Each structure stands twice: as structure tokens, then as C-alpha cells.
Amino acid sequence: MELRKRTDKIRKILRTIYPDVKTPLRHRTPFQLLVAVILSAQCTDKQVNRVTQVLFKHLKTPADFAAASLQTIETYIHSTGFFRNKARNIQNCSRKIISDHDGRVPRSLEELVPLPGVGRKTANVVLGAAFDTPGMVVDTHVARISRRLGLTTHKDAVKIEFDLMKIVPKRAWNDFSLHLIFFGRETCAARRPKCPQCPVAKLCPWSDKTT
């Protein structure tokens, strides 16, 4: 109960700082969002948006990616890093969507996760941003900050996800994930967190605060 109350206070502060949160990844369709999230692994959202601005002018649908050569896809996404693996995953994912889901991005975690290149994090981003379905996204920022705030003791992303789901109301899962992601980028960085300026410092039990 105490952990839940402290989490509620943290949520309230972050909502004040980030009142209107949504994924920074630009997209027009659930499928384009799925592709963008796959590309965002080990790459900044800003760079992904630069790439997809060109990519989606040429390849827009699962059928487009399924029919394109891997070399073509690789050429467009090269600057996102790990481009060969990403291109292969995107193409195989597209073909799976066509063969198993009539060309439409599935709307459940259970159907999204088996797709090539899609894990729980990617699935939850798509569910929340494309279908307004509650999902707790756990990326490196969420994992790091959750441990620092004492909301979990785990390092495994799935265990962290379930810990957070227990203490955050379901309706707030999507927003809370984004709040922590934005907060991690601006304040609670991995190497040089701005603890003296941190708005939730009094609610944070992390012992290695910077001064």
C-alpha cells in the first residue's frame, strides 16, 4: 500500500511536467508504427523519424515490404543501425501479417509478440499508441528509473513490467511508461542524472544520487 501511494505521488508530479504524452515516432497507420518501433532499437526516435520520412514514401504496407528486396529495405534503413537484422525482421513480420492476419496488424499482445522482430516492449508501444489499449512499455529508461525509485528490484524487463502493472492503474499504463521515458531523457539519465533538480527527489530512495 505504501509503495502504491508513493507511486501515485510520483505519477502526479510527472503528469504535471508532461501533461500530454504520446509516442514521438511519426506514423499514419498501425503498421507504420510497428515498423518505426522495430527501427528504434538502439537508435534515437529523431533518427528513426528522418528515415521513415523517406522510407514510407516508397514502402507503406505489409505487401510493399514483403515484395521488396532485402537490399532495398536495407538501403532505406541503413542509418538506424543493425540494418540487416532489422530489414529481415521487418520483411518477415510483414509476410507473417499477410499470411496470418489478413494484412492487418493484430490488436492483442498474444498475437503481436510472435511476429518477427516484435517483443513485449514493441507490442505494448503499438497497442497503446495505435489501438489505445493499456500496455506497460519497459525500455532502458523505464527499467533504470523504476529500480532507482524503488518500484522494482528486478533487472528483467518482463518482471519489471509485471511489478509496475501491480502498482499503477491499468488506465495509466501507457502514459506512465511515456512519463518515465521522457523523464529519463531529460532528468534521470543513466550516467549523469540531474538529482539536484529532480522534481521527485524526495520520493526517490536511490542511494547514489548526484550532488
The single residue of 5, 46, 60, 121 carrying the catalytic annotation is 121
Q: How many Å apart are CA 104 and CA 118, to the nearest integer? A: 15
Buried b (16+ CB within 10 A) or exposed e, 185-194: eebbeeeebe
Retrieve residue 163's grid coordinates: 511489478
With contact defined as beta carbons under 8 Å apart, do 138 and 164 qualify? yes
Residue type, 30: P
Largest CA distance in the chain: 56
Q: How many Å apart are CA 8 and CA 30, to the nearest integer? A: 31
Retrieve residue 135's grid coordinates: 500496455
Answer yes or no: 121 catalytic: yes
The single residue of 86, 96, 139, 163 carrying the catalytic annotation is 139
Q: How many Å apart are CA 48 and CA 125, to the nearest integer? A: 15
Candidates 172, 90, 106; CA nearest to 135 is 172
Question: Any idea which residues carry the catalytic annotation?
Answer: 121, 139
